[in-house]
Amino acid sequence: MESYGQKPRVYRTAMFKVPEPEKQEKLLEALRVFARSQARDGKPYILDIHAGLTKDETRAKGYTVVAQTLFANRDDMEYYDNECPAHANLKKVAAGLGLPERPLIVYFEE
């Protein structure tokens, strides 16, 4: 629910299908590096970030790694998608893992 005069926060979830445990760990390490290095105008701009392995069960539908990020507003999420050098590096690492498909990404505003 949006407060008067405030832009809604953006909650974003990315889910990856990474079958091999070694590649899962490489992606998690890249996410940890990203979390430490992300910045906009010299300051961290992501309010919160968490990543981990899914539990091995049928409901996961093959998704093995999940990352959740919280942005102050959509402008910060768009910076993340289009301009952030740390995110560009993360995408390079993910692309180098030979994932069977692109990650599933969803977000909502509150």
The residues facing 71 across adjacent strands are 10, 46
Helices 21-37 and 85-96: angle between axes, nearest 10 degrees: 170
Residue 99 lies in a domain: yes
Residue 45 lies in a domain: yes
User: Which 3-state string (H, E, C) describes 15-64?
Assistant: EECCCCHHHHHHHHHHHHHHHHHCCECCECCEEEEEEEECCCCHHHCCCC
Residue 104 lies in a domain: yes
Task: Quote the CA–CA distance of 47 and 44 in Å, as a whole number.
Answer: 8
Residue 4 lies in a domain: no
Residue 5 lies in a domain: no
Residue 28's domain comprises: 10-109
Q: Which SS3 state, helix, strand or coil, does residue 79 take?
A: helix
Residue 28 lies in a domain: yes
For the segment 104-109, the average pLDDT, to the nearest whole number, is: 98
pTM comes to: 0.90
Query: Could you read off the pLDDT of 17-30 as tens digits, one per residue?
Result: 999 999 999 999 99
Query: Could you read off the pLDDT of 79-96 as tens digits, one per residue?
Result: 999 999 999 999 999 999
Q: Considering its fold, how many domains does the chain have in total?
A: 1
pLDDT tier, 107 (very low <50, low <70, confident <90, very high otherwise): very high
For the segment 57-79, the average pLDDT, to the nearest whole number, is: 96
Amino acid at 33: V
Percent of the chain exceeding pLDDT 70 equals: 95
Provide the pLDDT for residue 56.
82
